[in-house]
Structure 1
């Protein structure tokens, strides 16, 4: 697994940021190149938002998978898991600050393709470090007035 961590301050109270992020569709909306391709439902309180199919463009190749929320702590954390050829875990942590909410995103990426860890790390970091920054900026932009 390859781990990337970054953070940003969002100009909104922790409760609003958590509520916004507590839906699987948010992972798709915030991720560059990711598109929703279907609902899998999954029941529970979130209904359709609990499990969502996606298509993700990586250097022009479509990759299909599923994103779902696998862990939440109200107003503190939401964890999304991605399954498919590029599995991953994205943990969003929320901390109150005077001017809003500090949001830390910890992303862990894997691969179902056999390759040495050093090669996976090089390609994953090169491709995704900027995407993590864009995801955080898109989240912040949701709360700009």
Structure 2
């Protein structure tokens, strides 16, 4: 398993950041390797189910995410299935009229189990760079 966690403090109010992040179509605009994020349906809990496609090193990975824990203005927890599997957690916290967004994720290392010890450090660094870029792209998109 690979874990990654990072946060960013934004001057934008929580509700605006939450609304932006709650729209699956916005995810591909801020996540560098995400080439597709399409809303499939809104769930009874208010969250979404969406189809994703990541393009990494010339390879394509696809599947679905489903909001399993959805509290407007507080958090969205995604269960990711398909070629990539894991849990993505977004936490929204109001700070001084702005928002602290924390991105925390746990991913299963794809590929043959025998190669996991070799792949895990690469995948961790890749994900850390990806999350860092996502948060700073988000900052540009939602800046007040």
TM-score greater than 0.5 by the shorter chain:
yes
Matched with 2:96 is 98
Task: Write the distance in 1 (CA, Å) between the matches of 2:18 and 2:61.
Answer: 28
Q: 5+ residue gaps in structure 1? A: none
Alignment partner of 1:59 is 2:57: yes
TM superposition score normalised by structure 2 = 0.83
Task: Write the distance in 2 (CA, Å) between the matches of 1:10 and 1:103.
Answer: 8
Task: Write the distance in 2 (CA, Å) between the matches of 1:27 and 1:67.
Answer: 12
Q: 5+ residue gaps in structure 2? A: none
TM superposition score normalised by structure 1 = 0.82
Q: 1:31 to 1:88 in 2, by over 3 A?
A: farther
Task: Write the distance in 2 (CA, Å) between the matches of 1:133 and 1:127.
Answer: 10
Per-residue Cα deviation, 1:99-126 (whole angstroms, up to 9, x for no partner): 5111111011113523255334312112
Per-residue Cα deviation, 1:10-37 (whole angstroms, up to 9, x for no partner): 1211122222222333433322121227
Size of the alignment, in residue pairs? 143
Q: Secondary structure at the match of 1:142?
A: helix
RMSD over aligned Cα atoms: 2.4
Task: Write the distance in 2 (CA, Å) between the matches of 1:70 and 1:80.
Answer: 6
Q: 1:96 to 1:37 in 2, by over 3 A?
A: closer
